[in-house]
Chain A
Amino acid sequence: MSCRLGPELLAEDPAAFQRHAGTCLDCARLLREKEHAYALLAQPPPGLSADRRADLWASLQAARRAPDRRPLYVGGGAALLAAAALALATVYAPHPAEVAVIVASASPRPVAPGAWVELRSGEQLAIGARAQLIAESPALVWVDALSTGLELRVAQGQVRLLSLGEDRPLSLRTPTARLSLIGAKAQLTVSRAGTEGLVESGQVVVERTLGGEQRLSAGGTISAPAALERAQKEARSSGELAVAEAAAEAAANRGPASASAAAQALDRASAPASAAAQAVDRAPAAAQAVDRASAPAPASHAEIRTPAPDSSSKAAPAPRREAPVAIPQRATTPAPSAAPTTEPKAAIDPAPDASEPSRRAPISADLTPTIPAAEPRLSAPKAALKEAQSLLGKDDRRAAALAVEVYQQDVVGPDAGLALCIAADGYRRSGLAAQAAATYVQAAQHANVADEAAYRGATLLHQLGQDDQALAELERGRVSAPRGALAPERILLEARIHLGRGRALAAASAIERGGASAEERSVDAGRLEVARALASTDPQRARALLTLIIARRPAESASWRAAKEILNALP
């Protein structure tokens, strides 16, 4: 059949084929469908306008004249890869691999950027006119010069950074946090175990790898022990983010008000007592962190500044409180088609009732009027799922109904996730955005579809104006599939949601903590938008966001030019 659409038929064959198609209804229908598909695919894409053509030629000329960046980039990439491999080796291997190490000889000594520096205990390293790095134990540090300043990565050991108001921005990275200093006077002790320090003047920004940002001004102290990060991570993975946040907040506010802060954070979580108790059971580290927070703390710790405005929303976001936990339910629950419709709109599953842990909650109560009951009784869930999948694009509502029915049978594991995803796809394609969003939210709890479901759910929630829930879904996607295929889109969406709410700093954080995924070209648009928003308030950060585009994208490409334009306009 397909050769009919190509030139392979012999001269006499088309006539024979046409005769056959004239009498065979099946072949005629197939032929019509396929010709329709080809006609759609053959539609010409938008052409190149004269203006764009001229721009393209100009940029091509400029790129041709510019020194060839490719070998440099490849070399740079290789060096970065080597550095990353080396960092891993030095961080995790009991004995660092043989590396080209600058052995300390004098103290303090200047440092050449782009090198590993091995420091003996007590040795000092001059990293600027008014900044020194002091090794408190044998340490290995990577020093890199970025266009925006100096970056130090502590791979091994414990170091103390003493900054007396260094003009150049300094950035320190550890596996758990990134600290940025701009003209600050501060003393920070950094190691893999955590970061502690005191800010004398200026400002230090602490961004934890697992999320959360603090801006510390004069008198502020930092205490971000790795244990807390682990507690957060554990709690996040158990799905009880609110408790993790409560623990984090309580720990961060160690001091006289710690107990009440913890209580308030838990209150804000507003989870039912039983759910909170379960959460604490499931996240012992988080509970320990709460316990630790209740202990009396040194007075200096009480001076910790409050988190940045943006991070207040991270402390106890509403959507996390109502993050749905799908409780398995047997087929005794009526199918959506049979359920009465009482709610005017779809609601995300409420928090589960702990007294009935074995029931799977209905996906959405208001699906019934629009979705007809699936006709056949399912015997094999996999076969039914396949059928539901095949119905997508043909009869989306029926596909959704069938998938819901499969889900409400006793399917577990990946099949349950797939069923929810198919149902959500069906709703989405049928224009039932709210139902689709609710179902994606449920599907996102299944690891096999978490990446896609969380992103799609967040997209729909954002379109529905439920940005808090959308951010929670994005966060869930980030935790469950940090390097998922849709991570770049997630980052972009998160940045745009924050921007839409006027939170440029939070938008910048979303990109900055995105790692390699944030370096994808699809995030460029977000980088540009955030940089524009930050241009007047935080030009340094705006510049840092644009650095990647300038360094990685082809010279004179659209994104490169836009980045250049913003950079030129920066103060």
Chain B
Amino acid sequence: MVLERLFSGVRPEVEVEQRPTLDALFREHADRVHRLVARLLGPGASQADIEDLVQQAFLAAHRALPQFRGESKASTWLFGITARTVYRELRGRTRHRRMVSALEAVVLATPEAPSTESQVQSRRDLAKVWRVLMEIAPKKRVVLILHEFEGLSGKEIAAALEIKEPTVFTRLYHARRELFARLGEGVR
């Protein structure tokens, strides 16, 4: 009952006993958190990288649970923690370059089954689009992914990332603009 209330968007004053537990968060959101981390890191990330960050995000959430005030949905709060965890990871230039470098190797890796020309082209397109996306600054990229592919609203993103809502849309605007401009230019 408590969980239902928390996860259905009803946000009562959160008492200690009403706070979501780590078990509940994991049960409800592990898949989405995993997907979010994978998306934010891009196809160049290894499974170990993704799982490490998923674990770090849940551990950070576990540590932060006492501070959870119920001002946003638990899922939004958890996504915010996840996004910030990944963002910290992405900020390192070295790591970013590594992801980009690994991108094509992973996406263009020869699959076991023979591919048709269109499948090969599709993988190339995918690598190209991701490469462009990875060239966008992490703070803008995170907003773009949360909004466009994870379906979070501007308000939810603002709450998750602890930024103002207009900032969300500014970043979103610039992220889209850069994405399309670079797609038009080609990439190196």
Residue positions of A touching B, CB distance < 8 A: 1-3, 5-6, 33-34, 36-38, 40-48, 52-53, 56-57, 59-60, 63-64, 68, 389-394, 399, 421-422, 425, 429, 452, 455, 459, 485-489, 517, 520-522, 524-525, 553-554, 556-559
Contacts and interface: CB of A to CB of B under 8 A. Distances in A.
Contacts of A557: 48, 51-52, 55
Contacts of A3: 176
A558 B52 contact: yes
Interface in B75-98: 93-95, 97-98
Interface string B50-72: 01101110110011000000000
A230 B176 CA distance: 51
B55 A59 contact: yes
B54 A56 contact: yes
B103 interface: no
A393 B101 contact: no
A389 B135 CA distance: 15
Nearest to B187: A393
A38 B179 CA distance: 10
Kindly name the residue among B49, B58, B97 whose own CB sees the greatest number of chain A CB atoms within 10 A: B97
Contact of A45 (B38, B125, B128): B38
Closest 3 CB pairs of A and B: A45-B38, A2-B176, A485-B97
A33 B186 CA distance: 13
A390 B30 contact: no
A37 B129 contact: yes
Given A56-B55, A429-B124, A517-B94, 15 more contacts: A2-B173, A3-B176, A36-B125, A37-B129, A37-B183, A41-B149, A59-B55, A64-B59, A391-B186, A392-B186, A392-B187, A520-B94, A521-B49, A556-B55, A558-B51
A393 B176 CA distance: 19
Contact of B126 (A33, A43, A393, A521): A43
B47 A558 contact: yes
Contact of B58 (A41, A44, A60): A60
B26 to A, nearest CB: 6
A60 B51 contact: no
B34 A521 contact: no
B5 interface: no
A57 B31 CA distance: 12
B177 interface: yes
Interface of B: 22, 26, 30-31, 34-35, 38-39, 43, 46-49, 51-52, 54-56, 58-59, 62-63, 93-95, 97-98, 101-102, 105, 122, 124-126, 128-130, 133, 147-149, 172-173, 176-177, 179-180, 183-188
Contact of A41 (B56, B98, B133, B185): B133
Contacts of A429: 124
A161 B128 CA distance: 57
Given A6-B147, A47-B35, A53 B30 contact: yes
Contact of B52 (A6, A68, A554): A554
Contacts of B105: 459
Contacts of A556: 55
Nearest to A42: B149
B56 to A, nearest CB: 6
Nearest to B93: A485
Nearest to A43: B126
Nearest to B49: A521
B186 A390 contact: yes
B52 A559 contact: yes
Contacts of A399: 186
B180 A2 contact: yes
Contacts of B46: 525
Given A41-B133, A47-B31, A488-B94, A392 B188 contact: yes
B143 to A, nearest CB: 12
A389 B186 contact: yes
Kindly name the residue among B47, B59, B186 whose own CB sees the greatest number of chain A CB atoms within 10 A: B186
Contacts of B22: 60, 64
A38 B52 contact: no
A385 B176 CA distance: 25
A241 to B, nearest CB: 25
B148 A56 contact: no
A41 B179 CA distance: 11
A5 B176 contact: yes
B34 A48 contact: yes
A6 B176 contact: yes
Contact of A390 (B54, B177, B185): B185
B54 to A, nearest CB: 6
A6 B148 contact: yes
Contact of A33 (B39, B98, B183): B183
25 contacts: A2-B176, A5-B148, A37-B179, A37-B180, A40-B126, A41-B129, A42-B149, A48-B31, A56-B30, A56-B55, A59-B55, A60-B59, A64-B59, A389-B185, A391-B186, A393-B186, A399-B186, A455-B101, A485-B93, A485-B98, A486-B101, A489-B101, A521-B95, A556-B55, A557-B55
A524 B95 CA distance: 14
Given A2-B176, A393-B186, A485-B97, A57 B52 contact: no
Contacts of B184: 33
Contacts of B51: 52, 56, 557-558
B161 to A, nearest CB: 18
A421 B187 CA distance: 13
A47 B39 CA distance: 11
Kindly name the residue among A56, A63, A425 whose own CB sees the greatest number of chain B CB atoms within 10 A: A56
Given A40-B125, A47-B34, A47-B35, A558 B98 contact: no
A2 B175 CA distance: 10
